[in-house]
Amino acid sequence: MILSDFDLMSYIKSGRLRIEPFTDEIIRENGVDLRLGSEVARLQRTEDVLDTGDRDVNLRKFFKVERGEEFVIMPYEKVLLTTLEYIKLPPDVMAFVELRSSFARLGLTLPPTIIDAGFEGNITLEVEGSAFPVKVYKGQRFAHVIFAKTLNPVESPYRGRYQGQRGVTLPKLLGLK
């Protein structure tokens, strides 16, 4: 069951769903618009091999993290962006994240992103640039999140490596070695 604006406000007012900072303007008919935060991580072109089996790999060779009030996403560049909002989902709600259509119409793309029941933190989103540079700003409503109630609370709410993340979060590798 998809949560409506009425359901979302009820969940937020009761504290079952936490969104901080919260303003009424981010509530939509059947979801919430999340705003851009102040960090971006740009994937760097390199011939170096990123070994996903090495949990001690230096990710700073592969990503450049920047802070600011505005960012230009260059043509076909891949970046990680973060949301301004910190969210906390209850164990009976999960969510789907989509790019707002205004940004998709500019040619930006966002791969499918799921927020698991029980997750807590800022959302890190991968975005691919358009055919032309696009400037985005901290605080812009950028992503649309559709919340769905599970039939029953999940038995094992999310407790993974990204629980509680703040700001743009680089990959946390498993390290198979």
Residue 124 burial (CB count, 10 A):
20
Our answer to whether residue 126 is catalytic in this structure is yes
Catalytic residue among 66, 126, 128, 155: 126
Instruction: Quote the strand ranges of the chain, DSSP E.
Output: 18-20, 27-28, 31-43, 63-67, 70-73, 78-88, 93-99, 113-115, 120-128, 134-137, 141-149
CA angle 149, 150, 153 (to 5 degrees): 115
77, 71 Cβ separation under 8 angstroms: no
Could you give the CA distance from residue 166 to residue 56 in angstroms, rounded to a whole number? 21
Collapsing DSSP to helix, strand or coil, 29 comes out as coil
Catalytic residue ranges: 126
